Structure 1
Amino acid sequence: MSTSQSKTGASDWSPDQYLLFRNARNRAIHDLIAFLGPEYSPDRITDLGCGPGNSTEILASRFPHATITGIDSSPAMLTQARTTSLPNTTFAQADLHTYDPGQGVDLLFSNAVFHWLRRRDRIPTLTRLLLTQQLGRGTLAFQVPDNHDEPSHRAMRETAASPPGANEPDLDPIETPLEYYNALKPHCRAVETWTTRYVHVMEDHGAIVEWAKGTGLQPFVNLLPAAEEAGGVDVREAFLEAYRQRLEKEYPRAEDGRVLLTYPRRFVVAFR
């Protein structure tokens, strides 16, 4: 779920906020695991960026006999993950930039984490992790949101470009399928990649704000001073309200008053 905190400006992540939309966020996890097929049976799994443990729980349910290690950089997320009390599972704090899972891992799995790395670090980190697996075996399976140009994320940058934002974090769009293929294929026998555009039904525009507060908005909000640092002025809430107003212009309401949030995700599976 999260990488080095300094890369996003966040002090830590909120498991409760993230899990407000657990079922919707879990859809991509189920889809990525399903692609591996019913006969796929890894003995050792590393869940890279495990967040609050929702992805680890699904992995443990699908592969009950596997030994699983979940890693994340967020202490708060790991505290939540450890409450899952999963058998054959351990959780540890680590930074993807330097983490070494060691040889013998059959499946390196990652749900929505590599997009937090800067573009210059992303493919080198993926390649390094892939090469830790024993030659001739192992799978790297990950998905990342591909929403840099979606209205929800364009509105974040536009809100950050003027007060009360006036700054924005260093976040890069993800690579194309061809870039992932060209980078990973020399090191493995096959690479599969696809994009799924999920459509989430949200109660209103405020619900999109709550969704984004658990992930994409946090680096923006954490660059702003807290109320006690701004003379009692709640700059963060002002930013969120300005963002909500922009969303109202971007997303029309359905006839029942709800709002449809399109959320594309890029999937990549590399087989050693």
Structure 2
Amino acid sequence: MTAPSWDPQQYLRHADHRTRPFLDLLARVADPPAVPAPRIADLGCGAGNVTALIVDRWPQARITGYDNSPQMLERARAHAGPLLDFAEADATTWTPAEPYDLIVSNALLQWVPGHVDRFPAWLDAITPGGTFAFQVPGNFDRPSHVLMRELAQSPRWHNRLAGVLRHGDAVLSPTAYLDALTRPGITADVWETTYLHLLHGADPVLDWVKGTGLRPVLTALADDPDAREAFLAEYRDLLRTAYPEGPHGTVFPFRRIFAVARKGR
């Protein structure tokens, strides 16, 4: 799968809804052992808006946000400060070069095939008393993804989009994450939550996925605007049936999986 291009402006259109799971994750993270000046890595920092929330929580921390998207990093650097910087890194190969009191990742790992294989190296880099925490979407079996994959595999689009999208196993089950994280000296807490986002405006679910899950399709069709618009029109009609507008807006159920793994002192 070719790495998708990202549009920070489109991604941030639903920033309030997207930020809530990160705040819920952060609420379960204990203060790092090096407070008041911990070393923190935000892996997959995106546009930097959630990295700024880490600064709010631990203003004396030295924080680095890592991402492999030049577009996202350009937007993120607007948040940089004396103790906050951003650097390019690919989570498929990133190995910490120094100890961290907290490594946190928000809605990244679903883009990293075999990401559980990276857990041992990341956990080894955590200081005693420190934490590795992440959240990932758990909705790959929901209509927004299933319809997208089915359309991409249809006769009209198969030749253009075969192998472009992630499959339903892009993330593990909560039990599998618990098994992957639990080991001597590590205590893991894993849970799931389904948010009922109430979206507004025309075709809001399509607008949402244009910032995230649909990026591989938009990237693959970027050189053919007519094809891009044709795919979007077909997909839009499917989404309108799957997520009908109600009297107060469009309800978009969104399951997420959370994990917090803490190393003993």
TM-score higher than 0.5: yes
TM-superposed deviation, 1:66: 0.5
* Alignment partners' CA distance in 1, 2:199 and 2:90: 33
More displaced stretch, 148-157 vs 172-181: 172-181
User: For structure 1, which runs of at least 5 residues remain unmatched after alignment?
Assistant: 1-6, 228-232
Whether 1:196 and 2:193 are equivalent positions in the alignment is yes
The code of the aligned residue for 2:241 comes to K
More displaced stretch, 75-84 vs 201-210: 201-210
The code of the aligned residue for 1:146 comes to G
The code of the aligned residue for 2:229 comes to E
Aligned partners of 2:136 and 2:257 also within 8 Å: yes
Alpha carbon RMSD of aligned pairs, Å?
A: 1.9
TM-superposed deviation, 1:98: 1.6
The code of the aligned residue for 1:126 comes to F
* Alignment partners' CA distance in 1, 2:118 and 2:191: 20
Aligned twin of 1:84:
79
Whether 1:171 and 2:166 are equivalent positions in the alignment is yes
Aligned partners of 2:203 and 2:240 also within 8 Å: no
The code of the aligned residue for 2:255 comes to P
* Alignment partners' CA distance in 2, 1:55 and 1:8: 26
Aligned partners of 2:139 and 2:254 also within 8 Å: yes
TM-superposed deviation, 1:23: 0.8
* Alignment partners' CA distance in 2, 1:252 and 1:21: 19
Aligned partners of 2:40 and 2:61 also within 8 Å: yes
User: For structure 2, which runs of at least 5 residues remain unmatched after alignment?
Assistant: none
Whether 1:28 and 2:21 are equivalent positions in the alignment is yes
TM-superposed deviation, 1:44: 0.8
Which residue among 208, 227, 234 is the counterpart of 1:235?
227
TM-superposed deviation, 1:225: 5.2
* Alignment partners' CA distance in 2, 1:223 and 1:197: 30
Aligned partners of 2:126 and 2:132 also within 8 Å: no
Aligned partners of 1:205 and 1:247 also within 8 Å: no
Aligned twin of 1:51:
46
Give the fraction of aligned pairs with identical amino acids, expressed as a percent. 38
* Alignment partners' CA distance in 1, 2:29 and 2:151: 40
TM-superposed deviation, 1:252: 2.5
